[in-house]
Amino acid sequence: MTARIGVVTFPGSLDDRDTQRAIRLAGAEPVALWHKDKNLHQVDAVVLPGGFSYGDYLRAGAISRFSPVMETVIEQAKSGLPVLGICNGFQILTEAHLLPGAMLGNNHLHFICRDQKLRVENADTAWTSDYSAGQEIHIPLKNMDGRYVADEHTLDELEAEGRVVFRYLTDGAAAHGYGNPNGSLRDIAGITNAAGNVVGLMPHPEHAVEPLVGSGRTDGLPFFTSILKKLVNA
């Protein structure tokens, strides 16, 4: 039986179709979900894609967090449903308190768009098992409100529990995709919840799944093959 992975479309979502394509390339069935529909249509996992939901008015992800679909996503995520939040999706996950911390405007106050180098810190989540801890990858990054912040206690807890999933690499020139691109505390690019089923990150793995389009790399494809293997072996 083919695994079914839902992709939610909010008003202002930009990367929902790209995410559906990445899921299809990994071998799963993408299922389009509408933000006003509480029914997840029996999907096995959910992706909240990138974009600018509701124009990022009020605060990025703050309005989408109250979309009807999120009521079900929050409930089922707490019961173990795998959920991935990419960029705006990560912002929505923090607003929904499925992940701790918050996303603020980039410290340089500019939109950034570039190929970003990351280090995989945790390869034990539902979405990262096809990576290796310590692996360095390149994933496209594009955001205006990508600065991850949290209080020191929360940051220390994330570090101690191994819940920092990706970190921006800072050993080189920013022009080549190195360096902290937005001022995120402790160079954090992505985190997970304690159970490892909910993951959020700012870079866009769905734009790095084919060698001929996007970044020209396939470093993002393991996100989608990881969850497929997780669901098949469940």
Supply the residues annotated as catalytic.
Answer: 87, 204, 206
Total residue length of the chain:
234
- Which residues are within 8 A (CB) of 175 and not within 5 positions of it... i.e. 6 or more apart? none
Of 104, 100, 81, 90, the C-alpha closest to 15 is: 90
Cα separation, 136 vs 177, whole angstroms: 12
Read off the amino acid at residue 80: G
For residue 115, give both structure tokens: 């190929």
- Three-state SS annotation for 94-110: HHCCCCCCEEECCCCCC
Could you give the C-alpha distances from 188 to 12, 36, 107, 160, in angstroms and in order? 25, 32, 14, 14
> How much of the chain is in helix, strand and coil states, percent to nearest 5?
30, 25, 45
Of 185, 155, 181, 166, the C-alpha closest to 84 is: 166
Output the CA angle 195-199-202, nearest 5 degrees. 155
